Structure 1
Amino acid sequence: MRRGLFHSLRFEVVAILVAGVFVPVALTGLIEGGWQVEAAVAWSSRPAVVNSVIGVVLCALTSLLILRRLRFFPGVAVARSILPVVAIVFGVFIAVIAGFRLEYSNRVIGACITAILATRFAITAVRSRAKGLLYYLVPEGRAKLIKDLRGATVLLLSDPTLKGLPDCAIVADLTADLNPDWERFLAEAAISGRPVYHFKQVWEAETGKVQIEHLSENGFGALVPSIAYQKVKRVVDLMISMACLPVIVPLLAMCAVAIIWDTDGPVIFRQRRMGFRGNVFHVLKLRTMIDRHDGESRDISITQSDDDRITKVGRFLRRTRLDELPQVFNILRGEMSWIGPRPEAVSLSSWYENEIPFYRYRHIVRPGITGWAQVNQGHVADVEQVTEKLQYDFYYIKNLSYWLDIIIVLRTVKVVLSGFGSK
């Protein structure tokens, strides 16, 4: 589908390289050379400047590709992702420079970071005023389900003809027994180059959930997510955990002092949770409540809003998610991952398995400290909310990838800062 000049990759690359790199480097060179072209050219040939320009170009293109990829994931506000993505990419670049002790120019890097951020926000602002993707709906079968989507423009087709239709995508229930006129219409739409989507595909992309009906209809393929990526993810989990230990251990020590000062009892709370492949393990958390339990009682395992068992220090730890820090040791032991479905107490997991079909399928990946359901929904307790949470978990399992993990990391930062979903 033609998305216009402002949505093209070519426009984005040119804009970023010209406005984000060439212009600030040229201005910096002129300033350094006293506004003399010859001096500016001589300045630009210095090793520190060359290294900085090469690194800045790589960072600009890398952040461009990441942000373009993020646009295709549901619930991601690209404008809110610009600053953290650019910061992470340039942070890696600066770490490489420091690690290899390369020469660099602070002024070039600083000027380009500012210019790249300004250019990226300008491109996003221009795009937000451009006409977005329209969905035109074939009014047969179960496709009408997507009419209630909040984040998409969905219009109902009245006649099976392409005449007069604007630039749009066609959505239909491709498994339904459609009228022959609508079948011919869909074939003609596909031949004309218009995208034709099955309604479930659109619903999942716009909501970030997977519908739970029959396991064979969920589109999981072989029902086993990418084994290769899970192995890579495990290695990354270990590397990040080891790198974070020097920071986490002092934080744990400070939190421990606060817990001991606030109330009597142990610092670490251990609870039996259902984990990877249905194996039970003891999750580690900083104690945030007065009452302690091992996860066998369903009623006690449910944390209510403004639960009077939560201590003063515990409420702060929960809101900032610092109570989850000890789970780095669960990760090192192979029981958890940084990202994945949250592990439930054994009693709750058994209850949900009896009430919700296919609930046990979520144990096919390692549980995580943060996950797709946590950044979209927050804390849940009753069965109806758990069913919705399961839709988010199944979407994560179905679309397991490093791109989705990046989105979850970025949104987790927002969750921690806002206290969203904590109880």
Structure 2
Amino acid sequence: MAKQRPVINASYAWLNRIRYRIAFGVLICVIIPVLFRQFVFNVSAFSPTQYNTAISGVFAILLGYTGYRRLNVFPGIAAGGYIITSFSIMFGMLSLIFLLFRFDYSRGQFLASYLLSIAFFALIYFKIDAHKRLAFGIVPGGGADRLDRLENVVWHRLEQFPGPVSSLDGVVADLHHDHSDAWDFRITDLVLQGVPVYHVKQAIEQLTGRIEVEALSENTLGSINPNDVFLKTKTFIDVILAVLGLIILLPFLLLVALVIRIDSPGPALFRQVRVGFRAKPFLVYKFRTMRHAAPEVASEARNAAITLENDPRITRLGQFLRRSRLDELPQLFNIAKGDMSLIGPRPEALALSEWYATELPFYHYRHIIKPGLTGWAQINQGHVANVDEVREKLQYDFYYVKNFSVWLDILIMIRTAQTMLTGKGAK
């Protein structure tokens, strides 16, 4: 028997509408602080200070909630945790604008709006959104029969579902399957009733964050080439941030290099040829985390490039550097050179890439985007080595290629920062 969908308290049902959330957010987080200053401190609501602070507060709420919702669309995300992140970024950006352009504003009032915004939208999340669970109907047949293995969704097989289909969030069917005439009529009727009907591949993609590619076409991964304007803008930003990062972190990088030399014999930097943008090889730089030893013969290059779980070659310091991802920092130099990006599919060693290309169809499609310091596959899966794991990693890479956007990049940066600070999720 399928689990029943949780019932949301009717007292809060009206807050399901976005316009009501925004309206009450502005009222509680912006208007009330303005009125408080007017009646308690006798500061006119129409004074430049009050006005500038209030208008910026409204913009911060609109942008913060928009950012929160955009991050929330990606699978595997504990949405509530990004309320603080999204609103902090937007209020922080507006504070920086005030500072740079010397606008008059009330720091206390702006801080109050910021704290109230986090409290208000977090309350909505815990009272409403945290209790929501998507409920989908399954049209039996074809690939749809494996859907009920996916978690975090209440699945109902339609031939057993007693209630009205309109109460579901949608219906999923394998639209390439040869259904009976009765099911074909039923699917058509659902569409005519306005019930969302999703193809099984799109449903799995949005629930798992992976894409199983059977053919390279605009129907599978969107346009064959990613957005060129965003690609060039991203490259420009990458280079600027990488150069600034190298300047700021130079003393720390030199210190880490010195400790590596003290910890074990060998150079501080590890250099390796990897496959990058448009399948062109380049030399990548990392802090050395293993004992220094070159493969005896060329045929061992592939095995040497594979890092195993609890690999005995990893040094004591190397364990920490890998867990915290600090070993990747020298790749800021690769980014400054234009070989890499901050966010993108992780570059593989040349020997491994050549092997994977012979075993996995469409493997080189991941090279349509510059490789990154961190990426969607890395935060969801971590380090992999064998072909089956790489196949799954490739599905994550294809998801990134298809959903290539600033919002997905922001999410990856947030998740990577969490891993670096806590070690959670690192492999």
TM-score for both structures, normalised by structure 1? 0.91
* 1:49-105 Cα distance to aligned partner (Å, 9 max, x none): 322222222111100111122222211221111112122212211221221122222
Shift of 1:374: 0.7
Secondary structure at the aligned position of 1:135 is classed as strand
Counterpart CA distance in 2 for 1:137 and 1:187 is 15
SS of equivalent residue, structure 1 residue 392: helix
Secondary structure of the structure 2 residue equivalent to 1:136: strand
Q: Does 1:400 align with 2:409?
A: no
CA distance in 1, matches of 2:316, 2:304: 19
Take 1:313 and 1:24, find their aligned partners in 2: how far apart are those partners? 51
Q: Distance in 2 between matches of 1:152 and 1:323?
A: 38
Once the two structures are aligned, what percentage of the paired residues are identical? 40
Q: How does 1:282-297 map to 2 (within 5 A)?
A: 282-293=283-294, 297=301
The residue number in structure 1 matching 2:3 is none
Match of 2:91 in 1: 90
State the shift of 1:165 in Å: 5.2
Query: Is this contact kept in 2: 1:341–1:368, CA < 8 A?
Result: yes
Task: Report the equivalent of 2:34.
Answer: 25
Deviation larger for 299-308 or 60-69: 299-308
Matched residue, 2:180: 179
C-alpha distance after superposition, 1:181-222 (max 9, x if no partner): 211111211111111110111100000000133445971244
TM-aligned CA distance change 1:165 to 1:351, over 3 Å: same
Task: Summarize the alignment of residues 123-162 of structure 1 with structure 2, pairs less than 5 Å apart.
Answer: 123-128=124-129, 130-158=131-159
Is 2:377 the partner of 1:373? yes
Q: Could you tell me whether the CA contact under 8 Å between 1:160 and 1:182 is conserved in 2? A: no
Partner of residue 5, structure 2: none
| Aligned Cα root-mean-square deviation (Å) | 2.3
Distance of 2:133 and 2:37 partners within structure 1: 38
Kindly tell me: are residues 61 and 364 of structure 1, through their superposed partners in 2, closer, same or farther at Cα, counting changes over 3 Å? Answer: same
Quote the offset at 1:370 in angstroms: 0.6
Structure 2: runs of 5 or more not aligned: 1-7
| 3-state SS, counterpart of residue 297 of structure 1 | helix
Residues 210, 395 of structure 2: 8 Å contact kept: yes
Matched positions, count: 413
- Tell me if the contact between 2:65 and 2:86 (Cα under 8 Å) persists in the aligned partners: no
1:383 matched to which residue of 2? 387
Letter in 2 for 1:404: L
* Secondary structure at the counterpart of residue 172 of structure 2: strand
Asked if the contact 1:210/1:218 (under 8 Å) is kept, the reply is no
| Distance change in 2, residues 1:64/1:211 (3 Å) | same
Task: Deviation per CA, 1:359-380: give whole Å up to 9, x if none.
Answer: 1211111100110001111111
Who is 1:351 aligned against? 355
Instruction: Kindly state the Cα deviation for residue 160 of structure 1 after the two structures are TM-superposed.
Output: 10
CA distance in 2, matches of 1:202, 1:9: 24
Corresponding residue number in structure 1 for 2:195: 194
Q: Return the match for 1:323 from 327, 330, 337.
A: 327
Name the SS of the counterpart of 2:383 in structure 1. coil
Aligned to 2:15: 6
Closer, same or farther in 2 for the Cα pair 1:102/1:90, shift >3 Å?
same
8 Å contact kept, 2:217–2:224: no
* Shift, 1:273, TM fit: 0.6
- Return the alpha-carbon distance in structure 2 between the equivalents of residues 184 and 329 of structure 1: 59
Contact persistence 1:378–1:420 (CA under 8 A): no
Which residue in the other structure is 1:36 paired with? Answer: none
CA distance in 1, matches of 2:220, 2:379: 23
1:342–1:368 contact (8 Å) kept in structure 2: yes
**Deviation by residue 1:213-261 (Cα, 9 ceiling, x = unmatched):** 3445971244222222212221221232233333222321221232233
| Separation in 2, partners of 1:129, 1:94 | 30
Q: Which amino acid aligns with 2:212?
A: Q
Letter in 1 for 2:269: I
The whole-number CA distance in structure 1 between the counterparts of 2:157 and 2:285 is 51
User: Could you list the per-position Cα deviations for residues 247-279 of structure 1 after superposition, in whole angstroms to 9, with x for gaps in the alignment?
Assistant: 222321221232233233222211111111111
Match of 1:306 among 303, 310, 317: 310
Match of 2:112? 111
Structure-1 residue corresponding to 2:4: none
Q: Structure 2-normalised TM-score? A: 0.90
Aligned partner of 2:24 in structure 1 is 15
Match of 2:244 in 1: 243
Retained in 2: the 8 A contact 1:269–1:285?
yes
How much does 1:333 deviate? 1.3
- Tell me, what secondary structure is at the counterpart of 1:86? helix
- CA-CA distance at 1:129 after TM superposition: 5.3
Say which SS state the counterpart of residue 154 (structure 1) adopts: strand
Alpha carbons of structure 1 residues 48 and 246: separation in structure 2 relative to 1, 3 Å? farther
Letter of the 1:17 counterpart: V
How many Å separate the matches in 2 of 1:202 and 1:389?
19
Q: 1:74, 1:207 within 8 Å by CA — same for their partners in 2?
A: yes
Partner SS, residue 281 of structure 1: strand
The residue type equivalent to 1:238 in the other structure is V
CA contact (8 A) 1:135 1:168 kept: yes
